[in-house]
Amino acid sequence: DWTMAGFKAEAIARIRAQVGTGRVICGLSGGVDSSVAAVLIHEAIGDQLTCIYVDHGLMRANESEQVVATFRDRFNIRLVHRDASDLFLGQLSGVTDPEVKRKTIGRLFIEVFEEEQVKLGGADFLAQGTLYPDVIESVSATGGPSVTIKSHHNVGGLPSHMRMKLVEPLRELFKDEVRALGRELGIPEAIVGRHPFPGPGLAIRIPGEVTREKADLLRKVDSIYLEEIRNAGLYDAIWQAFAVLLPVRTVGVMGDGRTYDQACALRAVTSTDGMTADVYPFDMGFLTRVANRIVNEVRGINRVTYDITSKPPGTIEWE
Ligand code: XMP
């Protein structure tokens, strides 16, 4: 009989056999796949594993703290947390084109990751949370398996001198199986059940130029929205939910005064694979409650809209 406990034991044995006494480096993103890969590999080889978390400053509220608290403090995994937000935000200054944003972030991600792995004295293996659908996708896209840091960071491959051997213990699994394995490994539900989050982070939820101030504003809106979704018990029924900071100012009233502040959009969709998506049909009471909280609690936002576009023809993200 196939069981997750059995898979876990076999996967650990395979990792030990592959790695021997070698050193392994793993990029953590805060997402499900890299988290499960890291904890699994850590169970197999302990301190032979070091994780690198490149923080681009475009994560959601408290996410970086949560990554450190979970992996370093709770699982005792060796973790390098590199706050590279000044570098990323500096290089994004003046960039408005969505694809240039992605390329800039992808390039810097590799640069910073490489710098950190050199500081660690290199490693014999690079661990990745590649899933079965990723394997299929890269085979069909290139005619053969290819070595990439997950497409999620939007890069074509590692620099040649970084070509370590790969450890990919999740290669046979689908997403729901990775979640089950994560639970088997004791990873908190807040990470295992988390909505997908794009590699470029909030950068593609801020149409136009990205600045630290805008990212801070968006984080406040986003966390109120997600808190209300969790409180309403809707989080697991939704594929992705997030806020977008609109590059437009609108007029409002606040007390006796007139405001001229920014507008935001809320998005929530259901989906099974992200390829197509339907709008999540919140009731109006929920939406107006969230809108009131956002306008009252986030200085600088005076209007809230709900995006009711399906995919296709819309995309899930705004950029
Ligand atoms: P779209 O917006 O294309 O999104 O409908 C489909 C799924 O992909 C995610 N997404 C990305 N993920 N890097 C990523 O890692 C990206 O550049 C990127 N763009 C979109 C999106 O969040 C959704 O889950």
Q: What is the pLDDT of residue 146?
A: 41
Q: Is residue 127 part of a domain?
A: yes
| Nearest atom, ligand 1, residue 311 CA | 5
CATH number at residue 227: 3.30.300.10
| Nearest atom, ligand 1, residue 317 CA | 2
Q: Is the C-beta atom of 198 inside 6 A of ligand 1?
A: yes
Its pTM stands at 0.91
Domain boundary residue, one of 192, 222, 248: 192
Q: Is residue 15 part of a domain?
A: yes
Nearest CA to ligand 1 atom 4: 316
Pairing between β-strand 24-28 and β-strand 125-127 as defined by DSSP bridges: parallel
Q: What is the pLDDT of residue 150?
A: 43
Please check whether residues 23 and 100 belong to one and the same domain. Answer: yes
Mean pLDDT (whole number) for 280-290: 98
User: What percentage of the chain has pLDDT greater than the value 90?
Assistant: 87
Please check whether residues 70 and 183 belong to one and the same domain. Answer: yes
Between 235 and 145, the higher pLDDT residue: 235
**Does residue 160 register a pLDDT over 70?**
no
Tell me how many degrees the CA angle 183-68-23 measures, rounded to the nearest 5.
80
Q: Is residue 204 part of a domain?
A: no
Nearest CA to ligand 1 atom 7: 274
Q: Is residue 138 part of a domain?
A: yes
The region of weakest confidence among 28-32, 143-147, 161-165, 211-215 is 143-147
Mean pLDDT (whole number) for 261-281: 97
Q: Which two tokens stand for residue 6?
A: 């059995």
Please check whether residues 151 and 67 belong to one and the same domain. Answer: yes
Nearest CA to ligand 1 atom 10: 198
Reduced to 3 states, what is the DSSP secondary structure of residue 133?
helix
Q: Is residue 11 part of a domain?
A: yes
**Does residue 154 register a pLDDT over 50?**
no
Q: What is the pLDDT of residue 144?
A: 46
Mean pLDDT (whole number) for 166-194: 95
The region of weakest confidence among 66-80, 127-141, 233-247 is 127-141
Per the structure, the count of domains in the chain is 2
Q: Tell me how far the alpha carbon of residue 30 lies from the centroid of ligand 1, in angstroms.
A: 16
Cβ contact 159:111 at 8 Å: no
Tracing tokens 């705004």 back to the chain, one arrives at 318
| Nearest atom, ligand 1, residue 315 CA | 5
Q: Is the C-beta atom of 175 inside 6 A of ligand 1?
A: no
Q: Is residue 206 part of a domain?
A: no
Q: Is the C-beta atom of 227 inside 6 A of ligand 1?
A: no
Domain boundary residue, one of 133, 162, 192: 192
**Could you tell me the residue range of the domain that residue 282 belongs to?**
211-306
Q: Is the C-beta atom of 296 inside 6 A of ligand 1?
A: no
Give the start-end residues of each E strand in the chain. Answer: 24-28, 49-55, 78-83, 125-127, 165-167, 240-254, 257-270, 278-279, 301-306
Please check whether residues 72 and 174 belong to one and the same domain. Answer: yes
Annotated binding site: 29-35
Please check whether residues 93 and 234 belong to one and the same domain. Answer: no
Q: Which two tokens stand for residue 128?
A: 């990745």
Please check whether residues 226 and 131 belong to one and the same domain. Answer: no
Please check whether residues 227 and 139 belong to one and the same domain. Answer: no
Domain boundary residue, one of 164, 192, 220: 192
The model's pLDDT over 80-104, given as tens digits with 9 standing for 90+, comes to 999 999 999 999 999 999 999 999 9
Between 314 and 154, the higher pLDDT residue: 314
**Does residue 246 register a pLDDT over 50?**
yes
Please check whether residues 182 and 240 belong to one and the same domain. Answer: no
Tracing tokens 């997600």 back to the chain, one arrives at 226
Please check whether residues 64 and 113 belong to one and the same domain. Answer: yes
Smallest CA-to-CA distance from 175 within 274, 241, 243 is with 274
**Does residue 287 register a pLDDT over 60?**
yes
Nearest CA to ligand 1 atom 19: 198
The strand order across the sheet containing 24-28 reads 78-83, 49-55, 24-28, 125-127, 165-167
Q: Is the C-beta atom of 196 inside 6 A of ligand 1?
A: yes
Q: Is the C-beta atom of 177 inside 6 A of ligand 1?
A: no
Strand-pairing partners, residue 125, are 24, 165
CATH number at residue 32: 3.40.50.620
Q: What is the pLDDT of residue 275?
A: 94
Nearest CA to ligand 1 atom 9: 198
Query: For residue 275, what is the DSSP state?
Result: S
Q: Is residue 76 part of a domain?
A: yes
**Does residue 149 register a pLDDT over 70?**
no
Amino acid at 249: R
Q: Is residue 319 part of a domain?
A: no
The region of weakest confidence among 5-19, 161-175, 179-193, 291-305 is 161-175
